[in-house]
Structure 1
Amino acid sequence: MKTAQKRLGKAPNVAVAAAALLPLSLTACGGADPADAEAKNTLTIQDYYDEAHDPIYQACAKSLGVDIEINHVPGPGLIPKVLQQSASRTLPDVLMLDNPDGQQIAASGALSPLTDYGVSGEGLVPSVVKAGTYEGKLYGLAPAVNTLAIFYNKDIFEAAGITAPPKTWDELRSTAKKLTQQGRYGFAMSNINTYEGTWQFLPFMWSNGGSEEDITTPETAQALQFVVDLQNDGSMSKSSVIWSQSDVIDQFIAGKAAMVVNGPWQIPSLKEHKDLNWATFTIPTRLASQTPVAPLGGEIFTVPRTGDKARMAKAGQFVKCLASSASQLQSAQIRQNIPANPDDAEKFGESDQTIMPFVTAVRNARARTGILGPNWPKAATKIYNAVQIALTGLATPAEALRQTQGE
């Protein structure tokens, strides 16, 4: 889940657009009228990636014998553009969506089930299939996904005499204290008041048994108290409430944070800093017996209802190609994402041990829309508001969660 400038798993702020989703079901059944044979054999692709992903699209186009037109849209502008395209009946043939947005768009009637084209999620990580499913029907597939782990500075660990990464919250807290000194925090994460802040809090909440259905439970309060304790210890900056994930990784690169929560999309930029000696580990749980549960990030590819059944069928096969083993591995290599197929993911992790903690986390990762579906954004807003209230000292963690649950 990246920031809007560097996105791989981040949910765009679709709450403002939610009210505009209803018209999709009324307008998405149209489509551009193909004027000639060439147009009929051309698929339009829309995403918020950059040109680095184009070779994968080109390879699938070649295998299917079609031409493609690719439209890269800035991340924050994708959902507004989709809404506008639906109203004007100009939806693309293949549409990429951040996975938490998929259910809202599917609920609007703008997407067609992939099963109509013989596409299934067989062999993929269950949470990947769940992320692309709405009311029992598969609408999107993610070729490669991402999640969260902790990056740490090996040199700082060694200098402090720490020989192994922490595995529990108590160990993480004591390690962060030990690594904190003048000009450097032991731990950093993003607690910003956006979906990004919720995304970073979820591993602590979910691994401890908390649920978005009711955030007032003791389990979620324990998780929030832990984050507050890190700040109260002086191990985490009070500025975390305004830091994005990009800000957090900048702190790490600058040597101002010894450990940071972040995603695998940061690996290419970290490797550019040859003097930075770093590694990764799985986000600790409160108890050693608990299973780490992190949120699933990444994008799904869908087939909009354009009204042109022939092109929709080709688009379905295009999505199937994107989810193939070869495409998954290529996407993972380009974006440092994790292949959605567990076997491919394992091979990818073995090629680079800094990736392996993310591979491990993906096995038990949870789709953010898995429980609440299209209502996830409401819960995400409550969560990041509660984190903000607690970290700014306006209420205790338990009180902050009770306040926002009622919003």
Structure 2
Amino acid sequence: MTLPRRGLRALAALSVAACLVAACSNDTSKGTETATAGGTYTIWDPYPQFDDSSDWVKLLTKCGTDAGVTVKRTGFDTTDLTTKALLAAQQGNSPDVLIVDNPVVSTLAEAGVLTTTEDTKIDTSAVEPNLLAAGQVDGKTYGIPIGANTLALYYNKKILDAVKVDPATIKDWASLTAALQKVKAAGKKGITFSAIGTEEGSFQFLPWFWGSGAQLTQLDSAQGVAALTLWTDWLKNGLAPNSVLNNTQTTSWQEFASGNFAFSENGTWQLANAKKTGFEYGIIPIPSQAGGTAPAPTGGEFVTAPVQNDKGKYATTTKLISCLSSNENALATDTTLSYVAATDAVQAKQVAANADLKVWVEAVRAAKGRTSDNLGTKYPKISEPMWTGFQAALSGSKSPQDAFAAAQTTAASATK
């Protein structure tokens, strides 16, 4: 994702039956040649912004050439891609390689669309375990991450310098809140984030929720309520604006870019925009309640191999996927996509090339997938009650305890 670029709201209602509409149809033609006969292999990805002249498409073409085949690539919007992948599987004409947002993997795996890495012999041994977990269901792995992004805190150095706050001292919730109070006392604004009632809001809430020690299977735990209380207290005390209720990550960033806020919770995808703000900025990890880096959710895609009637094609499919995820190609690919690499070796190269990525590598190493902990397709059924709950608390219609008690009841019923 850049989640940001891609949400999960539509996933809660996704099913193969939902695809049986004319709007799902598209050119899904593909070669029928076996691996030993070369031929054409299809790749579907969620990057419609890249055309044939882009480095991304050139890499796909090169990987095909190296494997002795021709690659036919199509880029789709993420939600559209998921729908088309389900329909293509039902019709028996899935693409050979499918690149999807990591929370979608469990949906497609549950629907029987994807092979496992055991089936295709794809080597995932070098991948960071916390990133690989987003593509694992019931002990099986359904693909390999092409990279990841996540969240951290951008800060306005001029504002913090004026109130004599050293960002390096912000290690937990108490020190962050104390910094926000100093900023407010100086007549500036504290922190902006996205608490909108969509998956974007849940994505931004999860570092605080997980940073409290809470688990998604128990939204109304004392820890979960503490995380929601942190947010509601910030609004109540004027440390965060009421606009967060409707903020997307983009509008939240625009507030920070105005130069009036000390902090913004946002992701790697804003790095280029940060350099255009006109003021000096820095980045620190999101702190957990008791100290240390909070686990933030991972965005980013998995490269997967859909099930094929002709199993003889898997050998070449594996070559294509191995090429796309190799250390040799990952550095350029993840730079293009504004992602942190999925392996330690390439992460080290990224930091060597761009020191600004150091904090993002640290954040990604602490991150976790939204569908991890074997939640799989249960996640969207928990996420929606969660965002409904924090919206109720932030708007003042319910206390944090009551809001998450109601959310837990809904989530528990939906995930039985």
Normalised by the size of structure 1, how large is the TM-score?
0.90
In structure 2, the residue matched to 1:13 is 10
Q: 1:91 to 1:376 in 2, by over 3 A?
A: same
Contact 2:3 2:299 in 1 (8 A): no
Partners of 2:68 and 2:277 in 1: CA distance: 43
Partners of 2:367 and 2:349 in 1: CA distance: 18
Amino acid paired to 1:16? A
Which consecutive unaligned segments of at least 5 residues does structure 1 have?
24-30
Query: 2:46 matched to 1:42?
Result: no
Partners of 2:13 and 2:252 in 1: CA distance: 26
In structure 1, the residue matched to 2:372 is 370
Amino acid paired to 2:118? T
In structure 2, the residue matched to 1:28 is none
Query: 2:127 matched to 1:129?
Result: no
Partners of 1:256 and 1:75 in 2: CA distance: 34
Partners of 2:327 and 2:248 in 1: CA distance: 33
Contact 2:198 2:387 in 1 (8 A): yes
How far the C-alpha of 1:309 sits from its partner, in A, is 2.1
Q: 97, 103, 118: which one pairs with 1:100?
A: 103
In structure 1, the residue matched to 2:414 is none
Q: 238, 252, 269: which one pairs with 1:234?
A: 238
Q: 1:34 to 1:325 in 2, by over 3 A?
A: closer
Question: Residues 161-176 of structure 1: matches in 2 within 5 Å?
Answer: 161-165=164-168, 166-176=170-180
In structure 2, the residue matched to 1:264 is 268
Query: 2:386 matched to 1:388?
Result: no
3-state DSSP of counterpart to 1:178? helix
In structure 2, the residue matched to 1:251 is 255
Contact 2:30 2:42 in 1 (8 A): no
Query: 2:175 matched to 1:178?
Result: no
Amino acid paired to 1:14? L
Which moved further from structure 2: 201-210 or 126-135?
126-135
Question: Residues 292-371 of structure 1: matches in 2 within 5 Å?
Answer: 292-371=294-373
Q: 1:336 to 1:94 in 2, by over 3 A?
A: same
How far the C-alpha of 1:216 sits from its partner, in A, is 1.1
How far the C-alpha of 1:313 sits from its partner, in A, is 2.7
How far the C-alpha of 1:248 sits from its partner, in A, is 1.2
Contact 1:21 1:83 in 2 (8 A): no
3-state DSSP of counterpart to 1:187? strand
3-state DSSP of counterpart to 2:118? helix
Amino acid paired to 2:354? D
How far the C-alpha of 1:181 sits from its partner, in A, is 7.6
How far the C-alpha of 1:380 sits from its partner, in A, is 1.1
**Per-residue Cα deviation, 1:196-225 (whole angstroms, up to 9, x for no partner):** 111111111112110001111101111110
Query: 2:85 matched to 1:88?
Result: no
Q: Percent identity?
A: 28
In structure 1, the residue matched to 2:280 is 277
Partners of 1:238 and 1:280 in 2: CA distance: 24
Query: 2:52 matched to 1:55?
Result: no
3-state DSSP of counterpart to 1:260? strand
Q: 1:32 to 1:78 in 2, by over 3 A?
A: closer
How far the C-alpha of 1:314 sits from its partner, in A, is 1.5
3-state DSSP of counterpart to 1:186? strand
Partners of 1:274 and 1:142 in 2: CA distance: 31
Which moved further from structure 2: 143-152 or 352-361?
352-361
Q: 1:36 to 1:66 in 2, by over 3 A?
A: closer
3-state DSSP of counterpart to 1:95? strand
Amino acid paired to 1:132? G
Contact 1:98 1:299 in 2 (8 A): yes
How far the C-alpha of 1:316 sits from its partner, in A, is 2.1
Contact 1:21 1:105 in 2 (8 A): no
**Per-residue Cα deviation, 1:24-52 (whole angstroms, up to 9, x for no partner):** xxxxxxx9674679995222111111314
3-state DSSP of counterpart to 1:234? coil
How far the C-alpha of 1:95 sits from its partner, in A, is 0.7
How far the C-alpha of 1:96 sits from its partner, in A, is 1.1
How far the C-alpha of 1:110 sits from its partner, in A, is 0.7
